[in-house]
Amino acid sequence: MEVRDTLSSSMKKIEVREGRRLTMFVCGPTVQDKPHMGHARTYIFYDVLARYLRFKGIRLFYLMNITDIEDHVIDKMKETGRSWEDIIATYSSEFFNEMRKLKNNSVNYHAFATDYIEEIIKQISKLMKKGYAYEIPDGVYYRVRNFKDYGKLSKQNLDDLRAGARVEVNEEKEDPLDFALWKKKKEGEPSWSSPWGEGRPGWHIEDTAITESIFGPQYDIHGGAKDLIFPHHESEIAQMEAISRKKPMVKYWIHTGHLNVDDIKMSKSLKNFVTVEEALKNYWPEAIRIMMLSMKYSAAVNFDEKAAIDAQGTAEKIAILQRRVNGSSEMKSDKAIETVERILSPLENDMNTPETIREIVGYVKSSLAKSKLSEGERGEIKYVLNQVESVMGIVHMVPFPDRSMDIILDLRNELRKKGDYESADKIRGNLKSLGIRIEDTVEGSYLWW
């Protein structure tokens, strides 16, 4: 399979050496607020990438960091008066809960930055020794001019970067591009001890300390949203390659596009974000996944209500088909295998999920159009849906109703047969108020909740 690599700006074939696992690191959230739909978009994409690689038989280790100390966390403490521990505990568990609800379940390990303070200090010490870092009164900084490749990921040269740099507040820095590796403690901030006194790590060093500890100085895939390319990922390369002198730090850089609201990037600072929690009140998790996967991962896309409603409609159609074949046993025929192959093959081409979604929609539509399905056909459909679910996570598994529900449904069908639609509709309405919906199809009526 091929993916578009940001560093080489070209399509690269994903290769795994015989007997080796593939290593993937994705920048996790800073846990200072509820996750929003921008997070949903990013993490659903990497979840499907991980699921697909595993589906192909590749042994993948998927690592995600959790940024539990950073400027935004300190800001939140100041805004709310809450303790650091309280903020981190609340929002990290929110993040895990919402990701679980969205069926993002492929991460092997979440690494909290503050669990790696020792490794962070080790990396900074190495950079100091090699002349890539220096200490001034408010912290330790990376000396960008000593790393000739700075700018290679974001395709910028140092002079342009300097010209574009913000007016420097800290005049003691040697260069406006130099970034903090260690920030010395200010009043009221959480801190850890280090050779440079009490303080906290800079944001970029958190990631390389974690990836070096777990994967070593070189690994396969690094993911994250596009706005992390500069300065975050650029600086990760500068740190790790300066320490190890091994290139490249990462073989494949894969970046996701932004999610916009009214064409403006969704972000906490702009307060134009929709939380995952709010979205899940109106839409199934499968609908949110379908909506996100209907767009090419690398494109910037606009979040709008209509796309969400359409995606909900698609998720419900898939669920109706799933319901029709629920009682059958999987049948892995040649035809079923071919169908799965046809649906998932667009993923080989830089994770073309929109094409895969189109294939699924076409398949579901033609299967639902058949008024009667043979037992063999049901078994095949079940196999196809299970395979699709294992990669895409878009099949809403409707539980069997208990016996009392069957009795109610039978009763309603009797009423409809007799033409008493008023009473039948009343049952439907009453069930709806309990959150249970009835779907009438040519083969009968189905419930879900």
Which of 3/27 has CB closer to Zn ion?
A: 27
Q: Which long-range contacts (CB under 8 A, 24 or more apart) does 443-446 make?
A: 443/324, 443/371, 443/372, 443/373, 444/413, 445/409, 445/412, 445/413, 446/320, 446/323, 446/324, 446/398
DSSP-derived pairing of the beta strands 60-66 and 219-225: unpaired
Q: Which two tokens stand for residue 329?
A: 């046993």
Number of residues that bind Zn ion (CB under 5 A): 2
**Interacting span for Zn ion (CB under 5 A) from 20-28, 132-140, 169-177, 316-324:** 20-28
Task: For Zn ion, give the closer residue by CB, 228 or 347.
Answer: 228
**Minimum CB distance to Zn ion smaller for 206 or for 389:** 206
| Residue 275 DSSP class | B
As a whole number of angstroms, the distance between CA 238 and CA 150 comes to 6
Minimum distance, C-beta of residue 336 to Zn ion, in the bound complex (Å) = 41
Q: How far is the CB of 370 from Zn ion (least distance, A)?
A: 48
Q: For Zn ion, which is the closer residue by CB, 27 or 87?
A: 27
Compute the least distance from the CB of residue 207 to Zn ion, in Å. Answer: 4
Contact between 27 and Zn ion per CB under 5 A? yes
Nearest to 37 by CA among 265, 221, 374, 224: 265
Closer to Zn ion by CB, 207 or 241: give it.
207
What is the per-residue binding string for Zn ion in 139-178, x denoting contact by CB under 5 A?
Answer: ----------------------------------------
5 binds Zn ion (CB under 5 A): no
Q: How far is the CB of 210 from Zn ion (least distance, A)?
A: 9
CA distance 447 to 289: 22
Cβ nearer to Zn ion, comparing 194 with 208: 208
Q: Which residues have C-beta within 8 Å of that of residue 120, sequence separation ≥ 6?
A: 113, 182, 201, 205, 206, 209
Minimum CB–partner distance for residue 269 and Zn ion (Å) = 18
Task: Give whichever of 27 and 315 is closer to Zn ion, judged by the CB atom.
Answer: 27
Quick count: other Cβ atoms within 10 Å of Cβ 75? 12
Distance CA 301, CA 288 (A): 14
Which single residue brings its beta carbon nearest to Zn ion?
Answer: 27
**How far apart are CB 68 and Zn ion at their closest, in Å?**
12
Task: Report the residue number, 236 or 286, with the smaller CB distance to Zn ion.
Answer: 236
Q: If 0-12 CB within 10 Å is exposed, 13-18 middle and 19+ buried, where does residue 188 land?
A: exposed
* Strand 444-448 with 2-5, pairing: unpaired
* Interface stretch with Zn ion, choices 21-29, 326-334, 370-378, 414-422 (CB under 5 A): 21-29
Q: Which is nearer to Zn ion, 139 or 202 (CB)?
A: 202
Contact 67, 29 (CB under 8 A): yes
Residue 212 sits in the site that holds Zn ion (CB under 5 A):
no
C-alpha distances in angstroms, 436 versus 21, 41, 296, 433, 448?
44, 28, 34, 7, 6
CB under 5 A: which stretch of 119-127, 206-214, 285-293, 425-433 binds Zn ion?
206-214
Query: According to CB under 5 A, which residues from 295 to 324 bind Zn ion?
Result: none
The least distance separating Zn ion from the CB of residue 242, rounded to whole angstroms, comes to 18
Quick check: 207 binds Zn ion (CB under 5 A)?
yes
Report, in Å, the least distance between residue 228 CB and Zn ion.
Answer: 6
Q: How far is it, in rounded angstroms, from Cα 442 to Cα 158?
A: 66
Q: Name the minimum Å distance from CB 276 to Zn ion.
A: 20
What whole-number distance in Å separates Cα of residue 384 and Cα of residue 32?
Answer: 40
Residue 14 or 27 with smaller CB distance to Zn ion: 27
Question: What's phi and psi for 20, nearest 5 deg?
Answer: -100, 160
Report the nearest approach of Zn ion to the CB of residue 355 (Å): 30
Q: Is 234 in the site for Zn ion (CB under 5 A)?
A: no
Q: Which stretch binds Zn ion (CB under 5 A): 19-27, 126-134, 245-253, 428-436?
A: 19-27
Alpha helix segments (H runs only) across 117-233: 117-129, 158-164, 203-215
CA distances (Å), 300 to each of 171, 172, 262, in order? 37, 38, 12
Residues of the shown chain interacting with Zn ion in the complex, contacts defined by CB under 5 A: 27, 207
